[in-house]
Amino acid sequence: MAVGVLSLQGSFNEHIAALRKIGVKGVEIRKPEQLQNITALIIPGGESTTMAKLAEYHNLFPALRDFVKMGKPVWGTCAGLIFLANKAIGQKSGGQDLVGGLDCTVNRNFFGGQLQSFETELLVPEIAATEGGPSTFRGVFIRAPAVLEVGPEVQVLAYYSVPSNNSAESKSNSENQLETPVSKERVIVAIKQGNLLGTAFHPELTADTRWHSYFLKMAGVVTEQSSNSIIKEEYFSDNRQQKNDLPIFQW
């Protein structure tokens, strides 16, 4: 079963490579009729306004909304998360069309511009419980959004805690990430609602394919290559040898 990747702009090639790594075919999607041939869809990170203009040009929005309403699994990363949100703030003049479906409000450019891009370890207990591996995931945030509010049917999968000058307070916050509400010091960066998944960061830019495997299971696509042991061994071997950190975000 093929998984589609919206390929108008952004990191669609990286998603296709990640899918290939775990034995699943990724199909580039640029036209509405192509959605009829896939079982699930990934909307990648990129420049959300540009992606929206291209989607409008190709008349993709009605087909994308129908795809979501049919209950087919859709995962949005970074700009893709903005696409799937019911409401987005911090947009450019005139705003942009949204696909909608996720009962949440996102701030389109919460962390700032390109210079405020960063990497950090996120607590991901749901991913660890389902896919194995450690309780953390290396989140890559590039001109990233953040989720400010969620509805009652939305499951929060990861928070980001803003680093504190008080190391004891920071440690306490980190240990209780999924037990406290969103605030100025804590924002939501990964959510799930029914058939929809959204991450403010870019899992496709890491060697850790657990988020892709998690999404494939949402879509009912499980392959022998996506076993936990292969993912964990390959990722942590690569990660120990290659680590080029971006700055940690500060207020």
How far apart CA 98 and CA 216 sit, in angstroms, is 24
Task: Return the half-sphere exposure (C-beta side, CA atoms, 13 A cut-off) of residue 144.
Answer: 28
User: Which among 80, 69, 44, 45 is positioned nearest to 195, based on CA atoms?
Assistant: 69
- Type of residue numbered 166: N
199, with CB counted inside 10 A (0-12, 13-18, 19+), is buried
188: left (phi over 0), alpha (psi -120 to 50) or beta: beta
- CA torsion, ordered 226, 227, 231, 233, to nearest 10 deg: -150
H-helix or E-strand containing 158? strand 155-161
Which is the CATH superfamily of the domain at 3-241? Class I glutamine amidotransferase (GATase) domain (3.40.50.880)
- Count CB-CB contacts under 10 A for residue 94: 6
Sorted by where each begins, the domain ranges of the chain are 3-241
Three-state DSSP state, 230: helix
Q: Which residue, chain included where needed, has tokens 């120990």?
A: 240
Q: What is the pLDDT along the chain (251 residues), one digit of tens a residue?
A: 789 999 998 899 999 999 999 999 999 999 999 999 999 999 998 888 888 899 999 999 999 999 999 999 999 999 999 999 999 998 665 567 899 999 999 998 888 777 778 999 999 999 999 999 999 999 999 989 999 999 999 999 999 986 654 333 333 333 344 443 445 578 999 999 999 999 999 999 999 999 999 999 998 876 555 444 344 444 444 444 444 444 443 33
Q: Which residue, chain included where needed, has tokens 């640029």?
A: 30
143: left (phi over 0), alpha (psi -120 to 50) or beta: left
CB-CB contact of 198 with 147 (8 Å): yes
Q: Which residue, chain included where needed, has tokens 């960063």?
A: 118
Q: Which residues are catalytic?
A: 78, 202, 204
